[in-house]
Amino acid sequence: MVASEGSEVWVVVARREGEVDDASLELVAEARGLADRLGVATAAVVLGQDAHLLAPALGEKGASVVYSWADEALSAKHPDICLAALEQAVRERSPRIVLFAAERRLRGVAARLAIRLGTALASECTKLDLDGEGNLLVSRPVYQGRLSARVVCRSFPQMATFQSGYGRRPGLASQPQVVRLPSPPSVSPLTRREQEYRDPPAAMDLVGADVVVAGGRGVGGPDGFALLERLADRLGGALAASRAAVDAGWVPAHRQVGLSGKTVAPRLYIACGISGAVHHLVGMKDAKRVVAINTDRNAPIFKVADVAIVGDVREVLPKVLEKMATGEHALSGFHPAPGGAGGI
């Protein structure tokens, strides 16, 4: 492929419980910004049959075209079948840029697709831009998130996966056209999913986590962090810590969030016993929602919290876990506080 062939910017859409995942909606808005600068269309690619139901939400974020297939085989979302469909579509339509949300299943499909197309893939990106020649220019974390590298994509199609939480462009609403693509070639899946395993919170990738539960000095010690790990496990999230907790030896250094640690941008960040010093806030300021638990009602962390809980982590979390075990809303009874944060 050559640069002149690319006529669209594509976003391969991830889904959560039948709806478009927030990370994909965020990415469509980012893609629209790139497409407008290139003078090309923005297309959302839906791996399934019900694209017409998702088109309004994708159009709100800027998609002008929604591609899908009238093929029941894709409804199972098996990666081997999705890969064959995407490869055929890319070869036939020659998009200039193909983007994926850094969602667990799509990561693998993106990597395999890049290999089949003989192109490069920039992974786990936190910023999407264009260089002076119109090539995709991305920023991505390196050295366990301590530094950020700027990478120019020069092979075509230019491909990247994008971390959720880093999108900043407002959506430019469109009325998308839904286009059915030819059925993919018949594929017999080479793999079968017998069982899924998830990394424990203390081993999960921190930078790409959708949910992060972090603890500071106020957690009190390793026993307190065991509570945090239980909560993170229930939420499918990663365990993190402030520098104070790392310096105390309660948590390994590679779990640290902050200026001298890693930078994260999860959908939900739960700060437990963390005061909110500037060097910590730098590492989590891009989180979409922040819940903070602290005994000090004047803690700086409450200034950035969407929900503020004044209390001892070791007393609050057992109650939260109990409510989660019984199916109750874990934050029921917490009411908005003045200024927009929640509190009790």
Q: Give yes or no: residues 35 and 116 share one domain.
A: yes
**DSSP code of 21?**
P
Signed CA dihedral, 90, 91, 92, 93: sign only: positive
pLDDT of residue 17: 66
pLDDT of residue 336: 39
Q: Give yes or no: residues 45 and 88 share one domain.
A: yes
Residue 188 lies in a domain: no
Residue 193 lies in a domain: no
Q: Give yes or no: residues 153 and 29 share one domain.
A: yes
DSSP 265-290: --SEEEEES----HHHHHHHTT-SEE
Contact call for residues 107 and 208 (beta carbons, < 8 A): no
Integer Cα distance of 22 and 164 in angstroms = 8
Residue 149 lies in a domain: yes
The number of folded domains in the chain is: 2
pLDDT of residue 330: 52
Residue 198 lies in a domain: no
Q: Give yes or no: residues 122 and 225 share one domain.
A: no
CA angle 97, 174, 8 (to 5 degrees): 20
What is the pTM for the complete model shown? 0.69
- To 10 degrees, the CA torsion angle through 212, 28, 71, 84? -80
Integer Cα distance of 92 and 114 in angstroms = 15
Q: Give yes or no: residues 16 and 98 share one domain.
A: yes
Integer Cα distance of 201 and 212 in angstroms = 9
Give me the domain span that covers residue 248.
211-343
Other CB atoms within 10 A of residue 39 CB: 8
* SS3 state at 32: helix
Strand partners, 294: 310
pLDDT of residue 72: 62
Q: Give yes or no: residues 173 and 224 share one domain.
A: no
pLDDT of residue 334 exceeding 60: no
User: Which pLDDT tens digit goes with each residue over 28-55?
Assistant: 998 998 998 999 999 999 887 677 778 8
Confidence of residue 194 (pLDDT cuts 50, 70, 90): low
Overall average pLDDT of the 281-293 stretch: 89
Integer Cα distance of 60 and 171 in angstroms = 6
Q: Give yes or no: residues 13 and 93 share one domain.
A: yes
Half-sphere exposure for 284 (CA within 13 Å, toward CB): 34
Cis previous bond, 157, omega within 30: yes
Output the domain CATH number for residue 174: 3.40.50.620
Residue 199 lies in a domain: no
Residue 140 lies in a domain: yes
Integer Cα distance of 324 and 313 in angstroms = 16
Backbone torsions φ then ψ of 18, nearest 5 degrees: 90, -20
The more confidently predicted of residues 154 and 339 is 154
User: Which pLDDT tens digit goes with each residue over 135-162?
Assistant: 999 888 877 667 788 888 888 899 999 8
Residue 171 lies in a domain: yes
Q: Give yes or no: residues 140 and 258 share one domain.
A: no
Weakest-pLDDT range from 195-204, 213-222, 242-251, 261-270: 195-204
Overall average pLDDT of the 251-278 stretch: 89
Residue 27 lies in a domain: yes
* SS3 state at 96: coil
User: Which pLDDT tens digit goes with each residue over 1-34?
Assistant: 334 456 899 999 877 766 777 888 888 998 998 9
Q: Give yes or no: residues 253 and 125 share one domain.
A: no
Integer Cα distance of 88 and 93 in angstroms = 9
Q: Give yes or no: residues 165 and 19 share one domain.
A: yes
* 48 closest CA partner among 29, 21, 8: 21
Integer Cα distance of 280 and 317 in angstroms = 22
* 177 closest CA partner among 38, 7, 41: 41
Q: Give yes or no: residues 285 and 246 share one domain.
A: yes
The position carrying tokens 């430019």 is: 172
